[in-house]
Amino acid sequence: MTESFPAIAAILLTLLGLLLGFGAAAVYTRRRLAAVREELLLLQASAAQRGEALVAQRAQLDQAKTEYIVLDAAKGQIERQLARRDSDADSLRERLEEAKTSLNEKEQLLRAASERLAAVDKELTQLRVTHTEKLANFEEMKLSFEQSRQQLKTEFQNLAGQILEEKGKTFAENSQQSLDAMLKPFREQISGFQLRVNQVHDEAVKGHVSLEGQIKHVLEIGLKMSQEANTLASALKGDKKTTGNWGEIQLENALQQAGLVEGDHYEAQPRFKDEQGQARQPDFVVKLPDNKHMVLDSKVSLVDYDRAIAAESEVERQAALDAHVKAVKNHIDDLSGKDYSNLIGMRSPSFVLMFMPIEPAYIEAMKHNKELFNYGYQRNVIMVSYTTLMPILKTVANLWMVARSNEQAQELSSRAGDIYNQVVVVAERLERLGNTLGTASKHYNDTVTAVAGQQGLYGKVSRFNELSAKANKTMPNLEPVHKDFEVEKLALVVGPGGGEKLTVPVEGPHIEVKNKAV
């Protein structure tokens, strides 16, 4: 037992030594493995860096190959472009010559247009002066017409009374003499023919029997003249148709004496229709400016007035004048009932002018009945005689004169506007022409700069002349063009302190033209 203990101890020590050795080996091995791992990681990192560098180098190589291919293609393209440039240079030289020719032609057009513009401006100035004079005359006429209108308005309101006061006595005293004067020529002719008949009869008694035929003819003429005298007297005293025709003739004479023209300023017996479709025919329709109308109708009544003149007593005279006023009122009622102002196509004021051609009859009626004028006025019928009608017709004639002046002024204004528009068109064309000239000059100079400038095509291809054996031509020396346009005559349309400046852009000097205010 004692002998086996050392052996066990030796074994144990051996085992302990082995364990310690294994432990030390394990520690060393672990440390070595860690060091190996670190070296492996470093090698892996280095390998990765080298791989990336290799990829980059391969990319650079591919890029270099691509650049080489591009440069090689560019070399061929440049050689082809050089050949084309030679052809383009020839074409540019031709175009430059054409541009110079075009510039000269357009310069000539500019001069011609300037002369035309000056002529048009001169004509426009003359038209302005004429237009100003016309407007001044028109304003004077307008003022005169307004004054005349106010004066006529005042005079028209008082005219009936004034005429009654001024002329009533004279017409009353001479009315019978007026009728006698109308019939006197016929009586004298009848007396003359009667005397001639007696003379012929005496000569026939003395033996000239052959004159019986002539005597008979003279008797027939005398009878005819007597009948005509009776007819005229009858017309003035009672034949309504003949009296009406005579009154219409007197009214038309008044229209013509006022300067009015049939067809242009008035219509005789025009036909209209009322709302029921019935035909209406006033004696005269006076045309007014602005397509308006004024109705005139003639009314003659002499029977009762003649009885008043021939009355032997005051009672008979008053009775005859009462009948005369009643006849005038009947005419007023008749005209009022026809309602001419509301006919289809009629553009008339609401009143009608009733013309009484025999002024003594008009005055006696107004004197006998002071309310007669108001009676007609309330029924839209204005009583007028020759004395009161003429100022109205003269006013109408003046209205037409003013209307014609307005038309002439409008025509002149329209013509001035047309000429102004023509001037504007010429100015616009000049502006476009100037812009075209400036644009052509600018394009030319830009092309010269692109070809012969410091950064131009000349500098880029100059070395090709040394590299290529085919380059056997010499580059021309191109210079920019600075074109001055002659526009002195355009100054004719420039007034003191003119309008905005019209600038024509051109390389180098430029043109400034002022648009004259019109």
pLDDT digits (tens, 9 = 90+) for 188-226: 555 655 565 555 455 545 544 444 554 454 445 444 444
Region 2-27 average pLDDT: 76
337 C-beta neighbours (distance < 10 Å), count:
8
Residue 248 confidence (pLDDT): 85
Residue 245 confidence (pLDDT): 80
Give the global pTM.
0.43
User: Between 145 and 28, where is the model more confident?
Assistant: 28
Q: Which residues are CB-contacts of 335 (< 8 A; sequence separation ≥ 6)? A: 297, 299, 352, 354, 379, 381
Residue 231 confidence (pLDDT): 54
CATH, domain 240-384, list 3.40.50, 3.30.70, 1.10.10, 3.40.1350: 3.40.1350
Torsion, Cα 341 345 347 353, to 10 degrees, reads -40
The pLDDT-based confidence of 12 (bands split at 50, 70, 90) is confident
User: Between 472 and 508, where is the model more confident?
Assistant: 472
Between CA 113 and CA 107 the distance in angstroms is 10
Residue 145 confidence (pLDDT): 56
- The CA R_g of the chain, rounded to the nearest whole Å, is 61
431 C-beta neighbours (distance < 10 Å), count:
15
Q: What is the tens place of the pLDDT at every residue in 274-285?
A: 777 778 878 888
Q: What are phi and psi of 327, to 5 degrees?
A: -65, -40
pLDDT at 514 over 50: no
377 C-beta neighbours (distance < 10 Å), count:
14
Which of 23-32, 311-320, 474-483 is the least confident region? 474-483
Q: What is the DSSP string of 78-147?
A: HHHHHHHHHHHHHHHHHHHHHHHHHHHHHHHHHHHHHHHHHHHHHHHHHHHHHHHHHHHHHHHHHHHHHH
HSE-CB at 304 with a 13 A cutoff on CA atoms is 18
pLDDT at 503 over 50: no
Bridge-based pairing of strands 381-384 and 501-504 is unpaired
pLDDT at 63 over 70: yes
Mean pLDDT of the chain: 71
Between CA 215 and CA 219 the distance in angstroms is 6
The pLDDT-based confidence of 502 (bands split at 50, 70, 90) is very low
What residue segments make up the domains of the chain, in order of their start? 7-73, 240-384
For residue 491, the one-letter residue type is A
Q: What is the tens place of the pLDDT at every residue in 322-381?
A: 998 898 999 889 888 888 777 776 777 778 899 988 888 888 888 888 888 999 888 888
pLDDT at 437 over 80: no
Contact 452, 478 (CB under 8 A): yes
Between CA 254 and CA 283 the distance in angstroms is 13
Between CA 433 and CA 435 the distance in angstroms is 5
Which of 62-76, 140-154, 181-195 is the least confident region? 181-195
